[in-house]
């Protein structure tokens, strides 16, 4: 089955997808702030502009969308239309994630990656404890 949306409509839909200040990112920011930690959001001085940067602790948190970063949960599916395009795009995202994390670690930063599926109601407590453990290490 082909795409039922025209290229102009598809372009408009894709343009609405944000890379910063997404709902999962805002959930993590709110949670971290309520826990009493202070951070710099999306610091462009660091590779990959990490979502939350804890400068004094030399720690960063990335909040990834399951689809865009090929997470293994149910949300990290591969579209059946334009399969070659999406395969290349999503593999490129994963490769960039690895490259950025490696660069940060070589500079002495510790990284934590959270996926959007970890931030829903039944599992958010586990994410909170992962964050606390990560920041207090």
80 or 113: whose pLDDT is higher?
113
pTM of the prediction? Answer: 0.84
Average pLDDT, the chain: 88
Look up the CATH superfamily of 63-137: VSR Endonuclease (3.40.960.10)
Name the residue among 103, 119, 122, 123 with its Cα closest to residue 111: 103
For the chain, domain boundaries: 63-137
71-107 burial: b if 16+ Cβ within 10 Å, else e:
beeeebeeeeeeeeebeeebeebeeebeebbeebeee
Which residue would you say has higher pLDDT here, 107 or 71? Answer: 107
Residue 112, pLDDT score: 97
């Amino acid at each position: 089955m082909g795409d039922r949306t025209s290229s102009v409509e598809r372009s408009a839909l894709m343009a609405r997808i944000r890379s910063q200040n997404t709902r999962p990112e805002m959930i993590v920011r709110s949670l971290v702030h309520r826990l009493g930690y202070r951070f710099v959001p999306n610091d462009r001085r660091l590779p990959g502009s990490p979502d939350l940067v804890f400068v004094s602790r030399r720690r960063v948190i990335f909040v990834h969308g399951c689809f865009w970063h090929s997470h293994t949960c149910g949300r990290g599916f591969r579209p059946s239309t334009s399969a070659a395009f999406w395969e290349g795009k999503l593999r490129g995202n994963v490769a960039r994630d690895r490259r950025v994390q490696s660069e940060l670690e070589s500079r002495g930063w510790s990284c934590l990656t959270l996926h959007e599926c970890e931030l829903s109601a039944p599992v958010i407590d586990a994410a909170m404890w992962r964050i606390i453990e990560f920041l207090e290490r």
